[in-house]
Structure 1
Amino acid sequence: MTAISGKLAFVTGGASGVGLGQAKALLRRGARVVIADIMQDRLDAVCAEFEAAGTPVVAVRLDLTDLDAYRGVVDAVEAEYGPIQLLFNTAGVSQFGPLQAATMDDWRWQIDVNLYGTIHALQVFLPRMLERGDDNHIIVTASMSAFLSLPGCGIYTATKMAQRGLTESLAWDLEGTNIHVSLLCPGAVNTNIHQSLRARPAHLKDTGFYTGTEEDEARLKAVIEHGMEPERLAGYVMEAVEANRFYILPYPEFRAPLEDLQAEVMGALARPEDDPEYEMRISKGVPGGSDKQ
């Protein structure tokens, strides 16, 4: 089991939504919490909220697309507060539309935040966690889009499927080390991710999709407002971390579509008896697939 109480946790995207729910759940379990976010106004607001509740947190502004800045922030935090042992890689953005309308800025923004943000976290945290040898846990927040694609979600889905593959590979590579790994794949969550465009940098403003008007935000919010509340979702995450469970999939509504997808994949997969070279490849030790966890 991974102990949470007493550890220092670092939560990206911690000033709102899923990350804020995780920060609150961590505090209830006795962790010390650093919330990192690119939106200073949100950091200020949640710091005031935590102070008023008597559960102060450390708040740091972080552009996780900047590796050098990321490393500097973590260096400063650890110098003052000690080693970070729980990494919640939670920050993410979304913008939807057909791939034929996407600009390179649309691609770069979501890849920079969702995928490179995760890669940068690993570059910053893995060496120090491995060197210390204490008990650590890395939690990557992807999405059910890591398993299932939908129309108009191509860029987001590409980043989330990449996060899934990266995190599954990470768990393999870290077997037998002092670092445990979990992958959270939420469905709908009642958050403010519909306001993602407010954090989109000016140098990547060229878009072929919607532009973040009040009407756009209201339309997107209607899709998620009946989703799971962030703090409830965070409860499932804490249980999985404490049990060192890899997959965190607390959405039963996805059972049927995942079963359908698996059946379609297995139906398309060649059978051994239909391939005359199968036995040769097996005898030569040619690698095949294997389920993780």
Structure 2
Amino acid sequence: MLIDSATVAVVTGGSQGIGLGIARALARRGAALALLDIDPAAMEAAAAELSPMTRVATRRVDVRDRAAMAAAADGIGADLGAVNLVVANAGVGLGVFQPLDRELRYSTWDYVVGVNLEGVNNTVQTFLPAMLERGAPGHVVTTASAAGLAVFPERSSGYTYHASKFAVVGLTEALRRGLADLGSPVSASVLIPGLVATQVAANSVRHAPAASVDPGDRERIGEMVAAGTAAAAALGRDPDAVGEQTLAAIEADALYIPTDRLAESAVRDRAAAVIAAMPPASAYDGGLAAAMESRRSGGGGGRPARP
């Protein structure tokens, strides 16, 4: 997909961090922008910055709210025209700052998985059907994490965060395969940030439901957030660089968009451990593989699947 002044893009979490970096890169190409965010002050600042370069619409939306997402889509269509690029970027990371015994509560699960996974699904289901119906080139980008590829022992449990980000990687791989099987000119990519200089940790805690954090934990979590934010500022990639990297990957129709090699050894070790745990090869495996290939080649139609 070529990104230019004919592009109409939706970016959730588009007023801050990686989302704003992507929005800036899009604005420099002249793409019309719809920024969806939960923070009205950040949206106002982003719109003031980007409006001189392109058309910008903003909507205050919690991506967990399907009705609000649908209403936003209707307004965006009226303001900017048909959307052909969707960036489902909004995310939170509260769980990585809590030990497992503090993280195991439904309020934390509902918040983290609700934003990181349900929010991505809500964004896809809100905007993709109309893109498919038009039959024109388009693209969907989801934001996962290096924590969607492997569990990092240096972190706290991150039970909810890892669960949500692993799911986003799988969702996007399956989405891309399904789009290819349909013969659609719409494709999909998953952005896999490692360490990026953003305020996502602080914002995650700021917007977290009170029931997700014990009062006695707030000071400790605040200290961890401050340390993590400082490390990201010192060592992380510039969000604007990530924005340009994302646009280049969209135009190249790349499936994976890792921002660095942070997860390389962890992914290699995990893949090796999974393969080592498999039972010895047998005739059953060959027959199963042949049956799966026969089923796939005999159904679905459409063009060959993208890698």
Shared fold (TM-score greater than 0.5)?
Answer: yes
| Match of residue 132 from structure 1 | 134
How many Å separate the matches in 2 of 1:116 and 1:229?
27
Q: Distance in 2 between matches of 1:188 and 1:231?
A: 13
Partner of 1:27: 27
TM-aligned CA deviation for residue 230 of structure 1: 0.3
Deviation at 1:48, TM superposition (A): 2.3
Counterpart contact for 2:18–2:239, Cα < 8 Å? yes
Partner of 2:164: 159
Taking a change above 3 Å as real, the CA distance of residues 129 and 282 of structure 1, as seen in their structure-2 partners, is closer
Which secondary structure state, in structure 1, belongs to the residue aligned with residue 263 of structure 2? helix
Partners of 2:75 and 2:118 in 1: how far apart?
Answer: 21
Q: 1:287 to 1:106 in 2, by over 3 A?
A: farther
- Partner letter of residue 186 of structure 1? P
How much does 1:12 deviate? 0.4
Aligned residue number for residue 197 of structure 2: 190
Q: Could you say which residue in structure 1 is the equivalent of 2:225? A: 217
Contact between 2:86 and 2:140, CA under 8 Å: does it hold in 1? yes
Amino acid at match of 1:66: D
Secondary structure of the structure 2 residue equivalent to 1:174: helix
Residue deviations 1:29-70, cap 9 Å, x none?
22111111000111112222334x554522211111100110
Aligned to 1:70: 69
Query: Matches of residues 1-293 of structure 1 in structure 2 within 5 Å?
Result: 2-5=1-4, 6-51=6-51, 54-55=53-54, 57-95=56-94, 96=96, 97-102=98-103, 103-150=105-152, 151-152=155-156, 153-175=158-180, 176-195=183-202, 196-201=204-209, 205-208=211-214, 210-211=217-218, 215-225=223-233, 226-272=235-281, 275=282, 277-282=284-289, 284-285=291-292, 293=307
Distance of aligned partners of 1:284 and 1:179 in 2 relative to their CA distance in 1, 3 Å threshold:
closer
- Per mean C-alpha deviation after superposition, the further-off stretch among 116-125 and 17-26 is 116-125
The alpha-carbon distance between structure 1 residues 83 and 210, as it changes in their structure 2 partners (threshold 3 A), is farther
How many angstroms does 1:122 deviate by? 1.7
CA drift of 1:282 comes to 4.5
Aligned-partner Cα distance in 2 for 1:157–1:232: 25
Identity in percent: 31
TM-superposed deviation, 1:104: 1.2
What is the deviation of 1:82? 0.6
The AA in structure 2 aligned to 1:218 is A
How far residue 259 of structure 1 moved from its aligned partner, in angstroms, is 2.0
Q: CA 1:161–1:42 in structure 2 vs 1: closer, same or farther (change >3 Å)?
A: same
Give, in angstroms, the shift of residue 214 of structure 1: 5.1
Change (3 A) 1:276 1:180: closer
Contact 1:47–1:56 under 8 Å retained in 2: no
The gaps in structure 2 that reach 5 residues or longer are 297-304
Instruction: Classify 1:133/1:284 alpha carbon distance in 2 versus 1 (closer, same or farther; 3 Å).
Output: closer
CA distance in 2, matches of 1:154, 1:127: 32
SS in 1 for 2:189: strand
Give the total of aligned pairs: 286
Instruction: Tell me, yes or no, if the aligned pair for 1:189 and 1:230 is still in contact at 8 Å.
Output: yes
Q: CA RMSD in A?
A: 2.4
The structure with more helix, counted as a fraction of residues? 2
State TM-score, norm by structure 1: 0.89
Query: Partner of 2:218: helix, strand, or coil?
Result: coil
| Residues 149 and 31 of structure 1, relative CA distance in 2, 3 Å threshold | same
The letter of the residue matching 1:57 is: V
TM-score, scaled to structure 2: 0.86
Q: Which consecutive segments of 4 or more residues in structure 1 shift more than 6 A?
A: 286-289
Q: For 1:271, what is the secondary structure of its paired residue?
A: coil
Distance 1:54 1:277 in 2: 60
Ranges in structure 1 where 5+ consecutive residues have no aligned partner: none
